[in-house]
Homo-oligomer: A and B are copies of this chain.
Amino acid sequence: MSKLVIVGTVAFDAIETPFGKTDKILGGAGTYIGLAANNFDIDSSIVSVVGGDFPQEYINILKERNINLDGLEIIQEGKTFFWSGRYHNDMNSRDTLDTQLNVLADFQPKVPNAYKNAEVVMLGNLHPLVQQSVLEQMEKPKLVILDTMNFWMDNTLEELTKVISQIDVITINDEEARQLSGEYSLVKAARKINKMGPAYVVIKKGEHGALLFHNDQMFFAPALPLEDVFDPTGAGDTFAGGFAGYLAKTGDYSFENMKNAIIYGSNLASFCVEKFGTERMLNLDQKEVEKRLETFKALTQFNISLA
Q: List residues of chain B with CB within 8 A of the CB of A307.
A: 290
Measured between alpha carbons, how far is A253 from B235 in the docked complex, in Å? 37
Question: Which residue in B218, B227, B264, B303 is a CB contact (below 8 Å) of A188?
Answer: B227
By the criterion CB–CB under 8 Å, are A187 and B304 in contact? no
CA distance A1 to B292 in the complex (A): 37
Is the C-beta of A280 less than 8 angstroms from some C-beta in chain B? no
Does A34 belong to the interface (CB within 8 Å)? no
Task: Identify the closest chain B residue to A267 (Cβ).
Answer: B304
A263 to B302, CA, bound (A): 8
* Copies of this protein, total: 2
Instruction: With both chains docked as a complex, state the minimum distance between the C-beta of A293 and any C-beta of chain B, in angstroms.
Output: 6
List chain B residues, Cβ under 8 A from A301. Answer: 300-302
Q: Say yes or no: A298-B90 contact (C-beta < 8 A), given A211-B225, A227-B185, A304-B260.
A: no
Are A263 and B304 in contact, with the CB atoms below 8 A?
yes
- From B211, B219, B299, give the contact of A219 (CB < 8 A): B299
Check B304 against A293 for contact (C-beta < 8 Å).
yes
Number of interface residues of A (CB under 8 A): 40
B306 near A187: Cβ-Cβ < 8 Å: no
Q: Is A294 an interface residue (CB 8 A)?
A: yes
Which of chain B's residues have a CB closer than 8 A to the CB of A188?
227
Q: Which of A188, A297, A302 has the most CB of B within 10 A?
A: A302
From A184, A209, A259, A304, residue with most partner B Cβ within 10 Å: A304
Q: Is A89 an interface residue (CB 8 A)?
A: yes
Q: Mark A67-103, 1 if CB is under 8 A from B, else 0.
A: 0000000000000000000000110000000000000
Whether the pair A298, B218 counts as a contact (CB closer than 8 A) is: yes
